[in-house]
Amino acid sequence: MLCSAPMDASPSPAPSAHRTWRETWRLRSRQLRRLPLTMMITCLLLLLGSVQAAFQIGNNVYRSWTWTQETEQVRGRVAALQSDLHMLKDAEAAAQDPAYLQILARCQGFVRVGETVVVASGAPSTPPETCDSRRLP
């Protein structure tokens, strides 16, 4: 027998330094075995976060682009409505002016009382437009 301890004595526990080293080795080996799994999970989460960030950036770019287009369309409509409003205000002001109303009546072919209408023998059946007419919105 190689052991120097007496046979009748209970086996003595291993020295604490030796046991600590083995426990440390087992713990480290478990950690090393778990390390690739932990790194894979970490990389997967990082990849998922990157995909989500890329999606959010792309979504924000798309929303900005469509918002810019819609804003330009609305600005164009607002400008057209403002010009229509200006034209209507001018027409309203002109409708109150008797001189403008006389000009409109002459454009439509009306004459004053006492005036004589002279028509040439070679005149066309529909007279040419002598006044600029504006279409009101």
Domain boundaries of the chain, sorted by first residue: 16-84
- Give the contacts of 22 (CB within 8 A, at least 6 positions apart): none
Q: What is the pTM of this model?
A: 0.49
Average pLDDT over residues 71-82: 97
In whole angstroms, what is the distance from residue 113 CA to residue 56 CA? 77
48 in Cβ contact with 54 (< 8 Å): no
Report in angstroms the alpha-carbon separations of 111 from 102, 125, 128: 9, 18, 17
| pLDDT tens digits, one per residue of 77-134 | 999 999 999 999 988 898 898 888 888 888 777 888 888 877 778 877 766 666 766 6
